[in-house]
Structures are given as C-alpha cells and as structure tokens.
C-alpha cells in the first residue's frame, strides 16, 4: 500500500507532460496557419492594386493610356500569373488564391517575388477594352 504513490507520481508527470506538449503543438500550428493567412492576405492586398488600377483605367481613360505601377511581392510568393479576367497567386507552400477582375487583363509573363515595375496600357479590341500588362525588368 505504501508503494502506490511511488508508481502513480511518475505516471501523473508523464500524462501532464504529454498534455502540455499537445497543447503547445496545437498553439504552434494555429499560429503558423494564422501567419500563412496573414502573408497571403498581404499579397492579395498588393495584387489588388492591379485590379483597381485596371478598372479605373477602363472606366475613365482613353485608349492608349499608360500607367506605371510598382508591385512589391514578399518572399512567400512563388509567382503571380495573370490570364484573362483573373490573377492567380501561388504561395510558396502551394496555396492557390485567385482574384477576379471586371476588366480583361493580358500579361505574357509571370510576376515573381521582389519589387516589380509594371506598365499598364489600355487597349481596345473590337469594342472590348482590355489592359495589357508588361513587366519592366
């Protein structure tokens, strides 16, 4: 009877350590996911500058209008791809985010992390306005 406490105490410590480890792991995972979401939202905010500028150009500018736009993408971005009315953001951890535009966008190149200077030009093709985007390197 007197030896029961000798066996129970180490088992209680082991259980407490396991529970504490699981709690710390869960908190770390939640913080990592929150950080990834924050970085992706920051990238979206930066890329939305293209959409808002293209929309403004299509609504108010004349054909042939050009505008330069600086885009600063963080190192967490693999690349940004612009096709038709959508902009696809690929994050380093293979998360895919797609933003849509009311204005048709054309761009032949991908945009990679770092500071990028974009040249936006409003063009018209058979009654349809579109914005051609070129990356100045």
d(CA 79, CA 107) in angstroms, rounded, equals 13
* 8 A C-beta contact, residue 132 and residue 67: no
57 with 123: CB under 8 angstroms? Answer: no
Phi, psi (deg, nearest 5) at residue 134? -125, 140
Tens place of pLDDT per residue across the chain (137 aa): 456 556 667 888 999 999 999 999 999 999 999 999 999 999 999 999 999 999 999 999 889 999 999 999 999 999 999 988 899 999 999 999 999 999 999 998 999 999 999 999 999 888 888 999 999 87
Q: What is the pLDDT of residue 96?
A: 94
What pLDDT was estimated at residue 55?
93
pLDDT at 2: 59
Calpha distance 137→131 (Å, rounded): 19
**Residues near 104 by beta carbon (within 8 Å), at least 6 away in sequence:** 84, 85, 128, 129, 130, 131
pTM value?
0.80
Q: What is the pLDDT of residue 61?
A: 84
Write phi, then psi, for 70 (nearest 5 degrees). -95, 130
Q: How many CB atoms lie within 10 A of CB 34?
A: 10
Cβ–Cβ < 8 Å for 123, 132: yes
């Amino acid at each position: 009877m007197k030896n029961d406490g000798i066996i129970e105490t180490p088992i209680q410590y082991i259980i407490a350590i396991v529970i504490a480890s699981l709690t710390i792991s869960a908190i770390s995972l939640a913080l990592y996911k929150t950080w990834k979401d924050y970085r992706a939202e920051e990238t979206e905010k930066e890329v939305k500058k293209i959409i808002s500028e293209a929309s403004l150009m299509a609504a108010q500018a004349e054909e042939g209008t050009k505008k330069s736009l600086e885009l600063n993408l963080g190192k967490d971005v693999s690349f940004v791809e612009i096709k038709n009315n959508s902009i696809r953001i690929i994050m380093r951890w293979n998360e895919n985010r797609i933003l849509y535009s009311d204005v048709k966008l054309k761009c032949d190149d991908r945009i990679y992390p770092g500071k990028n200077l974009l040249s936006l030009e409003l063009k018209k093709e058979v009654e349809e306005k579109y914005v051609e985007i070129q990356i100045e390197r």
